[in-house]
Structure formats: structure tokens, C-alpha cells
Amino acid sequence: MIRLIEDNDPSAFEMLKLLYPYAGQAFIIGITGSPGVGKSTLIDALITQFRKRDMKIAVIAVDPTSPFSGGAILGDRLRMQRHATDEKVFIRSMASRGQKGGLSRATKDTAVVLSAMGYDIIIIETVGAGQAEFDISFLAHSIGIVSIPGTGDGIQAVKAGILEIGDIFIVNKSDRPDAETSVLELKMMLNMRRPTTCAQTSTLSPNWTPRVLKTIAQNGTGVKELADTFLSHFDFMKQNGSIVQKKIELEHLYFNSLIKDLTMEKILLFIKNSNDFKDALNKIESGSMDPITCAENVVNNLKVTCKQ
């Protein structure tokens, strides 16, 4: 099913419609941070913690940065290898391969499949956040931002708007010096963060105070607390009802991205079947008009009528 999604197979669309009513129970966690901060190692350790609670875990490792990212993806798989034989753990990597609607849609569709399959927790690993191409806050219920000590990541986070979307901030590699300074720095910046309400396009639940935790992913230090904190964030959202709001918000975003994709597909098909388009191709081929003017003419001549 996931392969069909990746291959833009039309049958995937039909199957997603059937699966959709069964999706929606899973808790979706986004783990994001700069390259190499230890996200995959941390997820590997988190899987161990969630498995102790007998939960079924799925991981989608997303690499939006490059279509030639075989290496990074291999790294992600390798770090989580020890769970490969556990039938209640599923790990999948996704790279940009020109999916319809981009990687966000493909990842969302994959999360629908995994949720319908009864995975309790779906973890999405992604490099960076707040990027135009892939925004984790469109997909996850709870977001963990991973940084490491002494890299000035905190300042970067403010610049990238990451502070606004994080629910849990993780200072990994805290076996390195200055971990405590990074924790304090993050806490200070979070104190200055503007309060956000659920109605805004943010993953912040009302009144949830973002947590800052230290971990050493390599030996599992602090990861039990991290797993507990993610689960308590989920409980918190369930108890105050904000999870319902959050899910509606995410559904709207999914709906909007579908509208965008389907509209684009329909219009492109219409254009490609038009005489204007064929004429323009001939003009480009004969060299009588440049492609820029041709494209402009085709689109300017477009008349869209909607059935009311």
C-alpha cells in the first residue's frame, strides 16, 4: 500500500478512502532537528521504551532534503536495526521522489495506512522543521525538537520559528559539555515565547507548558522520561479535549492539500488537451516564440468555469 502511494498509483487513492474511517486512533509524534543530532538513535531508544508498554510502533523516516539521500536513509534504518525482527515495530523510509502533492502528502497518506493498521504510535523523523516543502506541524499531534549542546541551536531555533511548534525540547548528546547551559538557554527562550492558542496553525495545545529534557540516546539515559512526557502530552490533550481540535485542524490541512493537488491535476489535464497548448508546443518547436511567452499566453487564455 505504501509502495502504491509512493508510486502515485491511482488505486492507492481508492484504498485510502476505504481505510480512512479506520485511521485516527494513533498518536503521531514528530521528531525533528538538524542533521546528525541523534534523531534516529533517539527514536530507536524510544521504540524500546514504548515496546515495554506493549505498544505497536511505526516509524516513518522522511528525508526531504535531497532525492539522492540513500546514505542518510540507510543511516536511519541502521540505527533502528535491532527492532527489525520485532513484528510490532514497522520502520519505513521515504525520500523525495516527486510524489503527487510532495512528500507531505505521501507521508500523511502513509500515516493513514499505518494508523488504520492499528499502530498505537507513529513516529515521523524529519530533518529540520518549518520548511516550505515539509512541515511536520501539519502531520503530528506532538512535536519533539532535538538539539545538541553548545551549537547555538537555541538561537537557530528562534530564527527558524521552531520554538513556536515544539511541545518537547530534547537536548541530546548531553554526555557532552554544556548540556545544562543549553537546557537553561532553551528554557529562557521558551519563557519569552508568545502564548499560542489551539485555533492557530500550531501544534501547541492550550496551557501545555513545553518541556525541556536531556538525553543520551546512545545509552538510553533520559529516554524513559522522554517517552513518559510524550505519553503525558497525549493524555493531557485527550483530557482537555484539545486533541479533537488538533485532529480537526490537521484534517482541514489534509483536505486543503488534497484540493490543491486535485485542482492542479485537473487543470493541467485540461490545459494539455487544449488547442492553445498544442499550438504553443508547435511555436516553441519551430522557434517562432519563446517558451516563456507561450506559457504566459496559454495560462492567460484559460477560462475556468465552476459548476455551482
Ligand X SMILES: Nc1nc2c(ncn2[C@@H]2O[C@H](COP(=O)(O)OP(=O)(O)OP(=O)(O)O)[C@@H](O)[C@H]2O)c(=O)[nH]1
**Three-state DSSP state, 91:** strand
Asked if 79 and 38 count as a contact pair (C-beta separation under 8 A), the reply is no
Smallest distance, ligand X to C-beta of residue 117, A = 24
Q: Does 178 contact ligand X by CB under 6 A?
A: no
The secondary element (H helix, E strand) that includes residue 114 is helix 102-116
- How would DSSP label each residue in 120-188? SEEEEEEESSS-SS--GGGT-SEEEEEE-TTS-HHHHHHHHTHHHH-SEEEE--TTSTTHHHHHHHHHH
Smallest distance, ligand X to C-beta of residue 140, A = 17
Report the partner that residue 141 touches, choosing among Mg ion, ligand X, none (CB closer than 5 to 8 A by kind): none
In the complex with Mg ion, the residue whose CB is nearer, 136 or 198, is 136
**Three-state DSSP state, 66:** coil
Residues in the interface with ligand X (CB under 6 A) total 18
* Residue from 20, 3, 59 nearest 258 by CA: 20
Q: Does 41 contact Mg ion by CB under 5 A?
A: no
**CA distances (Å), origin 216, targets 94, 125, 170:** 26, 18, 10
Report the partner that residue 226 touches, choosing among Mg ion, ligand X, none (CB closer than 5 to 8 A by kind): none
In this chain, which residue has its C-beta nearest to Mg ion? 40
Q: Residues 44, 76, 185, 249: which binds Mg ion (CB under 5 A)?
A: 76
**Three-state DSSP state, 214:** strand
Which residues within the stretch 89-148 sit at the binding site for ligand X (CB under 6 A)?
Answer: 127
Letters for 18-57 (x = contact with ligand X by CB under 6 A, - = none) are -----------------xxxxxxx----------------
Which residues within the stretch 186-215 sit at the binding site for ligand X (CB under 6 A)?
Answer: none
Q: Residues 34, 40, 93, 107: which binds Mg ion (CB under 5 A)?
A: 40
Stretch that binds Mg ion, among 70-78, 234-242, 251-259, 289-297 (CB under 5 A): 70-78
Smallest distance, Mg ion to C-beta of residue 244, A = 32
Q: Does 153 contact ligand X by CB under 6 A?
A: no
DSSP state at residue 216: B
**Residue 253: exposed, middle, or buried by beta-carbon count in 10 A (0-12, 13-18, 19+)?**
middle
Q: Which residues bind ligand X (CB under 6 A)?
A: 35-41, 72, 75-76, 79, 127, 172-173, 175, 216-218
Q: Which residues bind Mg ion (CB under 5 A)?
A: 39-40, 76
